[in-house]
Amino acid sequence: MDICIFGGAFDPIHKGHIAIAMSAVKKFHFDKLLFMVSNEPPHKSSHTAPFMHRLNMVNLALSELGDKFGVTDIEAKLNDLSYTYNSLYALKKIYTDDNIFFLVGSDIFASIKQWYNYKKLFDLAHFIIGCRPGISFSDMIESVPDDIKKKIEDKDKIELFEIDSFNISSSEIRKCIKKYLEYLPSNVAKYIINNNLYNKEV
């Protein structure tokens, strides 16, 4: 099988994330796409909502999308900082006979030189890079080291993916839940309200 891993904080998950995932499955014909909820990222401040709440929200958002979409809690099981290399290594042990793809935004991939063991990541997965608002592919390519530029040029386990998605971020949503309710799956919006996750009146 071809399995795509879509990593992120999903703090909270929103319709933009869903649109990216659905577009990727449609374009690349993945057999399965798993949302990988990050535990504690090494290059960012702590998440606003605890892991289990973010995992629950992803499960709610995916509840009506069908069998091709799922979620993995592998990063919590590893019980360490969310290094992509460690997570993909662990997933490769689970899906030994499958092809692993990793879906990531251009804004995140631009910092790949800072990632742990970044040169060995491509032994574990084929990278699908989606163009996100805020950083174009040309800007991203300027930011990455020369060996990665060469891989992009040669399409060596890296493929660029033009995506149509909502121009919205989780950080914007957290600042004003009421303003951005329409960008959230309805069951996720209810979950946030019921659990008072972001301490905002809605």
**Domain boundary assignment for the chain:** 2-195
pLDDT for 187 equals 96
Section 25-29 average pLDDT: 95
DSSP structural state of residue 180: G
Section 166-170 average pLDDT: 76
pLDDT for 48 equals 85
| pLDDT higher than threshold 90 for residue 92 | yes
Tell me the sheet residues that pair with 37. Answer: 8
Structure tokens at 164: 């149509």
pLDDT for 47 equals 67
Structure tokens at 76: 């919590």
Please state which of the ranges 39-43, 48-52, 182-186, 187-191 shows the lowest mean pLDDT.
39-43
- 121: nearest Cα among 1, 201, 7: 7
pLDDT for 44 equals 58
- 5: nearest Cα among 95, 81, 113, 140: 95
The neighbour count for residue 196, using CB atoms within 10 Å, is: 10
For residues 131 and 98, which has the higher predicted lDDT (pLDDT)? Answer: 98
| pLDDT higher than threshold 60 for residue 32 | yes
For residues 154 and 169, which has the higher predicted lDDT (pLDDT)? Answer: 154
Please state which of the ranges 65-69, 75-79, 167-171 shows the lowest mean pLDDT.
167-171
| pLDDT higher than threshold 80 for residue 201 | no
pLDDT band at 202 (very low <50, low <70, confident <90, very high): very low
For residues 200 and 47, which has the higher predicted lDDT (pLDDT)? Answer: 47
Q: Which CATH superfamily is domain 2-195 in?
A: HUPs (3.40.50.620)
Q: In what order do the strands lie in the sheet with 2-8?
A: 69-72, 32-37, 2-8, 99-105, 126-130, 158-161
pTM for this one?
0.90
